[in-house]
Amino acid sequence: MISKLTSLTVITFCIIAGTTPKPTPTPIESYGNAHVITVHRLDEHVRLYCDIADFPPIIGQNIPVCIKGLKPAANPQDNLKLLMFLNDLFLSKNDTPEKILLKDIQRGRQFCLVADIEVDGKDLCDLLVEKKLAQKVIEVPQPKALPQDRTNNAPAAADTHYIASKSSKVYHRSTCPHAARMDTSKAVTFAAREDAEKTGRRPCKTCKP
């Protein structure tokens, strides 16, 4: 478990030159489940800073965790009711959860984890939606990447579909991890790179369409 999770700290630099074909997008890796020992605090972006059981200290102590599927408000001030509820739930001196479980843990941005959070057997995201404190994002499943034609380096069929958010200046492959987390109600699709770039958008630096 520990050796697998330490890969969260590894950054690989790849130099692609000349006519080297672009790598096939890899699926988002899951690091399984883990129990939270302590929730220390919350920040304005609705991230929980936790100590996690069985994680090495560099990862498992005071690490920010985002609630998978949760869409907080863009303006931190609009998250106050949500943060007050979570503060009472996790940091109350009188009544704290007996069991906090992180499920299907994945890497997030800026050394942050993303996970489904279960509190005493109930999904936290569902609880917040029920109380009308937040919206739940419906994720678009990532299509399986098709093998590339190695004879002429032609892109696979899955690469001919591009996607962007209406509020973003970046476009992605349909298989990009960022596309999978996109709010589908704000998604715009393009059949070709040129169509996306005509709108003034630039290529994603992660999937490099």
Q: Are 129 and 122 in contact (CB under 8 A)?
A: no
3-state secondary structure the chain: CHHHHHHHHCCCCCCCCCCCCCCCCCCCCCCCCEEEEEEEEECCCCEEEEEECCCCHHHHCCEEEEECCEECCCCHHHHHHHHHHHHHHHHCCCCCCCCEEEEEEEECCCCCEEEEEEECCEEHHHHHHHCCCCEECCCCCCCCCCCCECCCCECCHHHHCEEEECCCCEEEECCCHHHHCCCHHHEEEECCHHHHHHCCCEECCCCCC
pLDDT of 93: 77
CB 21 within 8 A of CB 150: yes
Looking at residue 153, its pLDDT comes to 45
pTM of the model as a whole:
0.53
Averaged over successive runs of 10 residues, the pLDDT of the chain (209 residues) comes to 42 37 54 91 91 86 90 83 91 86 86 90 90 77 52 44 88 84 83 89 88
Q: pLDDT value at position 123?
A: 92
Length of the chain: 209
Q: What domains are defined for the chain?
A: 34-136 (2.40.50.90), 141-203 (3.40.10)
Q: What is the pLDDT of residue 141?
A: 61
Distance CA 39, CA 36 (A): 7
pLDDT for position 138: 67
Given this model, what pLDDT does residue 152 score? 44
| Nearest C-alpha neighbor of 26 from the set 39, 12, 15, 38 | 12
Contact (CB, 8 A) for 70 and 127 = no
Supply 130's token pair. Answer: 């029920």
